[in-house]
Structure 1
């Protein structure tokens, strides 16, 4: 490699700084922007993505588990490639999806892709081409991306911004060619951005988080309802002085609050009397409210509550049935949608007639359905062997 060519995402930036002509290299256009900053502060999407990510993922165990379950399950489904009706086992497109860039495997890339989609409602994939051929794929953070609509309303460019620096990705809507694949969840009131399940479950997330904070506060206060210290001085006695009042608050905080002081006797003096504040068990039942909020969060993500250990309202007879429902109604629709989007976006770059699909035979949760299908087809004596193979998803022998 010549000494004036620097490989990796710094190459073009370094060449521009030296005033030398840019050498065409295989590198992410967004890479230098990420490398030159410690944290991105600009949020371009029309919602507070930072708050959704913080409250609905980083601080909520239910939403966190739902996102992880969906992203990890969907990213683990193997890809299939067809040219017409013929399955291709070796192809540059399959190799690109298997090893999209030097830093990630295909499963890592698509786990980020599906995770961004669930948290933000939007996912962005960048293709890096060298000599007109796709060489690398990168999943970009949705909070740093801005859609630039054209006169016809379709995106004519995408802007990726990090700490005041911006990379522009131009599109050709007429030819359907774009360096960015943008997949979004349905949003009824937004033309360019999708709606996140976290946003739909925002009220339930707040309730669930608030219930956890309340229970933590109870533990910090000896896990019992608060009471009142009543000053009962003799006849003509005055209220506590300001110094006495402050000393009393300090002693209560230091000696009687917290788990280490639970059950410690309260020593009273000078006409003080303790009166417990009456709170009924029904008023204290935050656990059920927290469970109801957790079920609502799981509902927004399409994850059966049984799979994440939430008791109550289980409509499935067993765990296996719930797992099959999770795959059929939540995971596979996302994988199918991604396969269609990748076919439309990447397929023409590798040739005509290519179609991406996915292999459900490798999904353990669907093994019972697969065995039942094979048994039914095997008993169908009116079908030929080739027709039976076609019915279960295989080509002619």
Structure 2
């Protein structure tokens, strides 16, 4: 369906995936103010390769989906805590701690909420959540009790003349709803206008369109093209009996079970093998180049998009550090400051801060962790700088009662009170 058909009101031809709305001027026509129409006009245009790229079609590209899901799932799975700035202790008594760390609403886990919000911010420029508040009967202050995600492409954000953010949301049914800045949790990345972030889909539109076109061309080649590994050559004319015997011989060798069996050639025939031509090689290089373009825009290292086998093994630790430093750290900061801006008042922002813990992604091998912790505890003449329980917490072990000298019972000293000799060894 063409864009003009959309505005002529051919509603019967509009599929469920295309934007549609009714204007007050008459049934069957769309309003140019509708957020879905704006989104369609902004991200649904055709690329130079002839492919229409929007968030839905872009995520059909394996490399784009891998890059987006890696960032989103990493943000979702890493611990996010509200901590006190002075003591660095987890602020478990604060209501926001439970919402951020465990249960943002009644139907999502913390992983579900953060991963979906992150994915929307990556492909739709922004992600939004409705802040639910209730009055605390003890203090009389409003307390955040939940965060409900809102569909990004149905939200319009503007800056009012009084320099306040103004949010207008179009639900699936019913009239539009206007929200104040205090009612919306707004996550965005780097921005030109200060209101909307960048969309990876928009920035990589041409690269994704070319990648989708290459996939389509390869699929059509396999469907309609002829894939021949070689040909049989004969100087003269093959006799009918020889032709029939050759057909039967070839038919007997079809299928994987007959792979590797030899051909019996008739009347002096010769086999000529064909290698891949320059055109086929260029198609392969083009598809690799598009993966590299998506890696460049998303910040995800190429090996994590499963295109470089040589970087695995000894380089996996460096890859993890690269991924955290250049793909995740900007989003850590975006989340942490969005929480401070939207979910903490001025007084609370001086006391608390939200922090991700990327330690699980940065850990090396058990040997490297053991060397690091032993030096941190003072082994080898080093000045100790972490506590015994902090070392156990790094390895996700529970805290234990310890002697005055934490190394004493490891060097043959008496066992701790209440412990058997097996724990003192």
Per the shorter chain, which TM-score range?
0.5 to 0.7
Deviation of the 1:168 alpha carbon: 0.8
Say if 2:323 is the partner of 1:291: no
Q: Does the 8 A contact of 2:375 with 2:382 survive in 1?
A: no
Say if 2:147 is the partner of 1:150: no
Are residues 49 and 370 of structure 1, via their aligned partners in 2, closer, same or farther at CA, if it must alter by over 3 Å?
farther
Question: 1:81 matched to which residue of 2?
Answer: 82
For residues 365 and 325 of structure 1, the distance between their equivalents in structure 2, rounded to whole angstroms, comes to: 10
5+ long unaligned stretches in structure 2 = 1-15, 21-34, 46-52, 136-141, 229-274, 395-403, 405-425
1:179 counterpart (183, 191, 207): 183
Deviation of the 1:301 alpha carbon: 0.9
Q: Larger RCO: Structure 1 or Structure 2 (Cα < 8 Å, ≥ 6 residues apart)?
A: 1
Deviation of the 1:39 alpha carbon: 8.5
Question: 2:13 matched to which residue of 1?
Answer: none
Question: 2:236 matched to which residue of 1?
Answer: none
Q: Does the 8 A contact of 2:185 with 2:343 survive in 1?
A: no
For residues 155 and 370 of structure 1, the distance between their equivalents in structure 2, rounded to whole angstroms, comes to: 48
Deviation of the 1:104 alpha carbon: 0.5
> Which has the higher Rg, Structure 1 or Structure 2?
2
Question: 1:103 matched to which residue of 2?
Answer: 107
Are residues 49 and 194 of structure 1, via their aligned partners in 2, closer, same or farther at CA, if it must alter by over 3 Å?
farther
Deviation of the 1:63 alpha carbon: 0.5
Q: Does the 8 A contact of 1:291 with 1:311 survive in 2?
A: no
For residues 310 and 205 of structure 2, the distance between their equivalents in structure 1, rounded to whole angstroms, comes to: 21
Alignment of 1:1-397 (within 5 A): 41=20, 42-43=35-36, 44=38, 47-48=42-43, 51-57=53-59, 59-86=60-87, 87-88=89-90, 90-91=92-93, 92-97=95-100, 98-131=102-135, 132-152=142-162, 154-163=163-172, 165-171=175-181, 178-188=182-192, 190-224=193-227, 281-285=277-281, 286-311=283-308, 318-348=315-345, 351=348, 353-361=351-359, 363-368=360-365, 373-379=372-378, 383=383
For residues 145 and 358 of structure 1, the distance between their equivalents in structure 2, rounded to whole angstroms, comes to: 27
Q: Does the 8 A contact of 2:126 with 2:187 survive in 1?
A: yes
TM-score under structure 1 normalisation?
0.65
For residues 299 and 316 of structure 1, the distance between their equivalents in structure 2, rounded to whole angstroms, comes to: 22
Cα root mean square deviation, aligned: 3.7
TM-score under structure 2 normalisation?
0.61
